[in-house]
Amino acid sequence: MLRILSCVFIPVLLLGAASAQTAATPASLEQFQAYDPESTQVLNFEAWSEILNDIVLRVPASRRQVARGRPQQTGTAIYRGNTSRYRYEGNRVIYHLMDDGYEEAIREFRIAMEDLPNRVDFGSLNSDQQLAYWFNLYNAAVIEQVIGRYPESRINRTRAIGTNQSLFEAKILNVAGVPLSLDDIRLRIVYPQWDDPRVIYGFHNGSIGGPNIRREAFRGTQVWRQLDSNATDFVNSLRGVELSDTELRVSQIYGEARPLFPDFETDLRAHLTRFANDNTARQLEGNRPVATDVVEWHIADMTNGVTGCTGSGSPVEVSGTSNPNVVNLASMNCNILPQTGLVLLQYVFEQRLRLIRENALGTVDTIDIETPSEQPVINMTPSFGGAREETPEG
């Protein structure tokens, strides 16, 4: 069960408000290009890791099996859950259970992140620390925006809070006096400055179709290992590389990252092959044309934007999983876990049991690398002004 942040306080210096119409020009973005390759300064994102560990449900890696049909729900003819073929892929944020304490904690973390260049010479950091900073700022902003608009079911229809603009195009951030959109960070700062396709996998766009949201913050000391983990998950999922006999169908995010693949089809194949397991590697064989047309914008939550009780509370017959069976909801409070969420949770339990039987559970967890004590640490951890209530996990 979730743990509750009862009170959060971060002393920060707020930046001046920026007009949503102000553009981040190439000249204004140049200030983010400087870095110090010899720097040993470390950014501490433990606060963000604590939040993510509370709110993210880890879904076992895709087995490249299509989720066919739709779950059969008795007691109502209406099923409001996700019925797409990718519905059992990707980690989920438990938005439907997040209270005001979490929303405030994420907001304060995002504000502190925006303020960092006011307190530290950003160019004095090494490039790995900067990369982790951009990933964590981007992902925190996405989750904050989705919380503010929840319940939502499709991220591509989500408008930035207080605007009529796309979540990804609106200038919702201000870093070092420069108004930034999420697309500015991803497409105009990170992609041009890091000539490595693995940076694709650090950006969680709020949907099932994007790279995973991790249960830990990105950290400069292990950012490339974390990206390798996300790359392996994504490349070997159907939302990353689809099944097709006529084309090599891949996610649209590869099309958006074309500058990272100069000889697009050749370089993309080589990149995918680097992370492919045997099953995916067979899909990469041959010389079929590449189509960047795999799109999945359903929200990466547990319930597909459903909150509360929407049916009669009758049993849910779960189909399309490896072991279909009937789950009795008689003792389940549907305000805590709507029936649409139970379908996903049933799948997660089945896959975790399978991994336990195969002695493979936890083999993809990241390795925690301690920060050497001699490295100067820039602390981004919130100070908790109140007691933190711990709820025993079931």
Q: What is the pLDDT at residue 346?
A: 72
Contact 90, 237 (CB under 8 A): yes
- Burial code (b: 16+ CB inside 10 Å, e: under 16) for 166-185 equals bbbebbbbbbeebbbbbbbb
The SS3 assignment for 380 reads coil
Query: Is 19 in a helix, a strand, or coil?
Result: coil
- Report which residue type is found at 34: A
Query: DSSP secondary-structure letter at 29?
Result: H
pLDDT of residue 71: 57
Tokens representing 347 are 């799948």
d(C-alpha 208, C-alpha 57), whole Å: 13
Spatial separation of the C-alpha atoms in residues 325 and 39, rounded to whole Å: 55
Task: List C-alpha distances in Å: 189 to 15, 33, 148, 259, 283.
Answer: 20, 8, 26, 13, 32
What phi and psi values does residue 175 have, to the nearest 5 degrees?
Answer: -120, 120
Neighbours of 251 (CB within 10 A): 25
| Run of H or E residues at 191 | helix 191-193
| Beta strands per DSSP E along the chain | 42-44, 56-57, 72-73, 92-93, 173-175, 178-180, 248-251, 290-294, 316-318, 325-327, 377-379
Task: List 383's β-bridge partners, or say none.
Answer: 9
What does the pLDDT read at residue 348? 76
- Structure-token pair, residue 133: 């900073």
Cα separation, 229 vs 218, in Å, equals: 12
User: How would you classify the pairing of strands 72-73 and 325-327?
Assistant: unpaired
How far apart (Å, rounded) are the C-alpha atoms in residues 225 and 208?
22
Residue 246, token pair as written in the block? 């006529």
Q: How far apart are CA 229 and CA 71, in angstroms?
A: 30
Q: Render each residue's pLDDT in the chain as its tens digit; 394 residues.
A: 344 333 322 333 223 333 334 557 777 899 999 999 999 999 999 999 999 999 999 998 887 887 665 555 545 545 556 668 888 899 999 998 899 999 999 999 999 999 999 999 999 999 999 999 999 999 999 999 999 999 988 999 999 999 999 999 999 999 999 999 999 999 999 999 999 999 999 999 999 999 999 999 999 999 999 999 999 999 999 999 999 999 999 999 999 999 999 999 999 999 999 999 999 999 999 999 999 999 999 999 988 766 666 543 334 443 444 444 444 444 556 666 666 667 777 777 777 777 677 776 554 333 233 344 455 666 665 543 333 333 333 3
Query: What is the pLDDT, as a whole number, of residue 316?
Result: 41
Quote the pLDDT of residue 6. Answer: 30
pLDDT score at 70: 59
Residues 6+ apart with CB under 8 A from 121: none
- Please enumerate, as own/partner, the contacts of 239-245 that have beta carbons within 8 Å and a separation of 24 or more: 239/62, 239/86, 239/89, 239/90, 239/208, 239/209, 239/294, 239/296, 240/294, 241/272, 241/276, 241/280, 241/283, 241/284, 241/294, 242/283, 242/294, 243/64, 243/66, 243/283, 244/283, 244/288, 244/291
